[in-house]
Amino acid sequence: MSPYRERYRRELHELKDLTEDLANQVNSAIDNSVIALCDSNVELAREVIKQDEKVDDQSQKIENLCMELLALQQPMAKDLRRIIGVLKIGIDLERIGDLAVDVARVTAQSKDKIPITKLEYIPRMGEIDRNMLTQAMDALMRGDADLARQVTKWDYEIDGLYVKARDKLLKIIIERPEVINQGTSLLMVNRHLERIGDHICNICETVVYMVEAKREHLN
């Protein structure tokens, strides 16, 4: 293999590693933001917010490397789909990180406030989000389109939990207007976690495109 092609393969491998590392950072942000919310842990919430700069930097590295490969290597067929796919996945991962930060901000801004209700649905939504992301990245690394399709089935449970949490919070707000601000914040948390599931489904659709060269709507 020529040094030129060897460098190309090395950069493709680097792109894979950068994407996996970004997914790990984002998954940790989801986990810590939900833990901070449930435990009213303001310091942990602030740490999630602080770490978002690293997520943004990593996302930018992925974008830069993708653009460099597209411009200088002129990839064809499967390699072209791989690079375009990783570029799209990087965008979804960065947005998931932003949503995790939005969850953390709710905790960071609610210091010393008494929780208005037990959070019985939101922790489960966060857990499913993390499991979905882990499996979606596994599908990406293995090039497994069928696994990517299976991952999206979890989104139905997230949607069901979203409706239950929304209805419960709206009922509390109606019955206790004095907690409308806290209730509205939790409604936003609920929405952020539901949107994370949607972005993971986007990632799975991209994996199918990368592997099979066809587009499917999986969400």
DSSP character for 7? H
User: Would you say residue 218 lies in a domain?
Assistant: no
Domain that residue 61 falls in: 3-212
Six-digit token pair at 38?
A: 């449930």
Nearest to 196 by CA among 104, 108, 81, 109: 104
The CATH code of the domain that includes 77 is 1.20.58.220
Q: What angle do CA 205, 155, 59 make, to 5 degrees?
A: 50
Q: How many domains does the chain have?
A: 1
- CA–CA distance, 136 with 163 (Å, rounded to integer): 24
pTM of this structure: 0.94
User: Would you say residue 217 lies in a domain?
Assistant: no
User: Would you say residue 83 lies in a domain?
Assistant: yes
User: Would you say residue 219 lies in a domain?
Assistant: no
- CA–CA distance, 123 with 38 (Å, rounded to integer): 8
- CA–CA distance, 169 with 80 (Å, rounded to integer): 46
**pLDDT, tens digit only, all 219 positions of the chain:** 567 678 888 888 999 999 999 999 999 999 999 999 999 999 999 999 999 999 999 999 999 999 999 888 777 888 999 999 999 999 999 999 999 999 999 999 886 566 777 888 999 999 999 999 999 999 999 999 999 999 999 999 999 999 999 999 999 999 999 999 999 999 999 999 999 999 999 999 999 999 999 888 887
